[in-house]
């Protein structure tokens, strides 16, 4: 008589080592616009990410992530190859919920553009490209 042995496999989520005190830089943007015509709009919380084009060792395995809740977008950068510091920023666009469709674009190796649309405005945040910072 043949017996079957069943393997039991379990999975557990592991969080990577992170510094115990990640410091977020907070920026508040007051555009003066109001959401009076769309004050009942409810935007669900969402997030996203962008992988840099691997054009150099600095951008290989490097990512930008974001999380949006109401009028706040939290943006942070991660690298699997380097330890990054000062890589977290929280942007609050006062009273204007952020719409889905945050976009990141690389402008050659000079700049990274973060495009953010709210219910009353559009914002383009220009950041230095990692290749420029390594020079």
The whole-number pLDDT of residue 4 equals 65
Given a cut of 80, is residue 93 above it in pLDDT? Answer: yes
Region of poorest pLDDT, from 6-10, 42-46, 109-113:
6-10
Structure tokens at 120: 């009353």
Distance from C-alpha of 88 to C-alpha of 78, rounded to nearest angstrom: 9
Q: How many CB atoms lie within 10 A of CB 114?
A: 20
Question: Above pLDDT 90, what percent of the chain?
Answer: 49
Identify the band that residue 39 occupies on the pLDDT scale cut at 50, 70 and 90.
low
Mean pLDDT of 119-131: 91
Buried-state track 46-59, b at ≥16 Cβ within 10 A, e below 16: eeeebebeeeeebb
The whole-number pLDDT of residue 37 equals 60
Identify the band that residue 116 occupies on the pLDDT scale cut at 50, 70 and 90.
very high
Mean pLDDT of 26-31: 91
Higher pLDDT, 65 or 2: 65
């Amino acid at each position: 008589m043949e017996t079957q042995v069943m393997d039991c496999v379990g999975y557990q989520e592991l969080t990577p080592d992170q510094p115990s005190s990640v410091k977020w830089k907070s920026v508040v943007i007051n555009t003066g616009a109001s959401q009076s015509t769309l004050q009942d709009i409810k935007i669900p919380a969402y997030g996203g990410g962008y992988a840099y084009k691997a054009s150099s060792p600095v951008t290989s395995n490097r990512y930008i992530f974001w999380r949006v809740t109401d009028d706040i977008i939290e943006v942070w950068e991660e690298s699997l190859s380097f330890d990054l510091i000062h890589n977290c920023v929280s942007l609050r666009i006062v009273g204007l919920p952020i719409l889905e469709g945050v976009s990141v674009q690389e402008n050659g190796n000079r700049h990274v553009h973060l495009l953010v649309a709210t219910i009353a405005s559009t914002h383009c945040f220009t950041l230095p490209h990692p290749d420029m910072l390594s020079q």
